[in-house]
Amino acid sequence: MKAMLLSFVLVLVGGVSHAALSSSEIPYYGEQFYQDLASGVTNDALVKSLQTVLRSQHRSVDNGLDEIGNCNGSGCYQHISLGYDRARVWMMGVYYLVQDANGYALPDVYCANYKHTSDFPSNPPGPRVIPDGNILNTEHTWPQSKFVGKFDKNMQKSDLHHLYPADNKMNSIRGNNEFGEVVKDSKPLKCPVSRFGKSSKGSADVFEPPQGHKGNVARALFYFAVNYGAKMSANQEAILRKWNHDDPVDEEEARRNEEIWKVQGNRNPFIDFPELVDKIQSF
């Protein structure tokens, strides 16, 4: 009887310790994902493991890893569609908004500067305000024209992981052109920290963002490709892989990922684990 009781206790202890949270683990990803990483999964198997984490319901566990799967009751959450207005209010009127001596300001990812109150003839930035879109609007890093048909368009449109504030004219030039590294400019740009023109591969024009935003672009697009099963060209993928290495995750990108998780209910795994890009042969 004592032997049976001891065995039962050991099973319980083993089960608890197996799901317990280590200092290096992020609860969101759950136990199975970390088992998959430990076993060395790659390519399609890794993509499926990530999709399970990204698309499933979660139950948060005190001091432990999330339970992932069907969930009812307290502690349950999942990726939600905020709606486009709510997403923009959070991005422009909460998260990125800063205050200076002359009012409020917002960053512009394609000009690598800030747009201040004085830059807006009307409807300037402010708390919970969507400012004048003719000055600063929302960049969908994965273009809306290339959204995936089998997934809800509004969820893709409002997914904060690929949305950034950008100068209206620069955003229009980027359009739905692929990202790349420009070797010959097609036109001078308002903000020369970005470029638009021919790449060394292919005949189509590509858009090259500022150096400090290249890694963010890469990880946003890898996230979108995995979460929604979207496809990208081989040329763009090769450049994004390079940018993922050349412009690593910084404190701001990591903080943004954390805050998006709090309001939207999911994380970008390529920010938490940028090395996963090298474990997937093709996006």
DSSP letters for 77-92: E------HHHHHHHII
**Same domain as 111, residue 73:** no
**Same domain as 161, residue 47:** no
Where does residue 32 fall: left (phi above 0), alpha (psi -120 to 50 degrees), or beta otherwise? alpha
**Residue 174 near residue 144 (C-beta atoms within 8 A):** no
Q: What is the pLDDT of residue 17?
A: 41
Q: Is residue 174 part of a domain?
A: yes
Number of domains in the chain: 2
**Same domain as 71, residue 189:** no
Of 39, 61, 78, which marks where a domain is finished?
78
CB-neighbour burial class of residue 73 (10 A; exposed 0-12, middle 13-18, buried 19+)? exposed
**Same domain as 92, residue 61:** no
- Token pair belonging to 206: 């590509």
The neighbour count for residue 143, using CB atoms within 10 Å, is 14
Range with the poorest average pLDDT among 23-27, 114-118, 226-230: 23-27
**Same domain as 186, residue 222:** yes
**Same domain as 254, residue 144:** yes
Q: Is residue 276 part of a domain?
A: no
pLDDT digits (tens, 9 = 90+) for 260-281: 999 999 999 999 999 999 999 9
Q: Is residue 16 part of a domain?
A: no
pLDDT digits (tens, 9 = 90+) for 36-77: 999 999 999 999 999 999 999 999 999 999 999 999 888 899
**Same domain as 212, residue 113:** yes
Question: What is the rounded average pLDDT of the residues 161-169?
Answer: 99
Residue 19 has pLDDT above 60, yes or no: no
Q: Is residue 67 part of a domain?
A: yes
Q: What is the pLDDT of residue 73?
A: 82
Q: What is the pLDDT of residue 202?
A: 81
Mean residue pLDDT across the chain: 93
114-134: string of b/e by CB count within 10 Å (b at 16+)? Answer: bbbbebbeeebbbeebbbbee
**Residue 36 near residue 45 (C-beta atoms within 8 A):** yes
Q: Is residue 90 part of a domain?
A: yes
Give the integer Cα–Cα distance in Å for 190 and 147.
Answer: 28
Residue 242 has pLDDT above 50, yes or no: yes
**Same domain as 68, residue 133:** no
**Same domain as 90, residue 54:** no
Give the integer Cα–Cα distance in Å for 133 and 91.
Answer: 13
H/E stretch holding 93 reads: none
Question: What is the rounded average pLDDT of the residues 161-177?
Answer: 98
Q: Is residue 87 part of a domain?
A: yes
The neighbour count for residue 154, using CB atoms within 10 Å, is 13
Confidence of residue 9 (pLDDT cuts 50, 70, 90): very low
Q: Is residue 196 part of a domain?
A: yes
**CA contacts within 13 A on the Cβ side of 1:** 0
Of 60, 78, 96, which marks where a domain is finished?
78
pLDDT digits (tens, 9 = 90+) for 127-162: 999 999 999 999 999 999 999 999 999 999 999 999
Q: Is residue 176 part of a domain?
A: yes
Q: What is the pLDDT of residue 20?
A: 60
Percent with pLDDT over 70 in the chain: 92
**Eight-state DSSP code of residue 131:** -
Question: What is the rounded average pLDDT of the residues 171-200?
Answer: 97
Percent with pLDDT over 90 in the chain: 87
**Same domain as 121, residue 36:** no
Q: What is the pLDDT of residue 72?
A: 85
**Same domain as 205, residue 67:** no
Residue 6 has pLDDT above 60, yes or no: no
**Same domain as 181, residue 91:** yes
Confidence of residue 13 (pLDDT cuts 50, 70, 90): very low
Residue 262, CA distances (Å) to 77, 194, 205, 245 in order: 10, 31, 37, 27
Domain range for 34 is 27-78
pTM of the model: 0.91
Q: What angle do CA 195, 201, 203 make, to 5 degrees?
A: 80
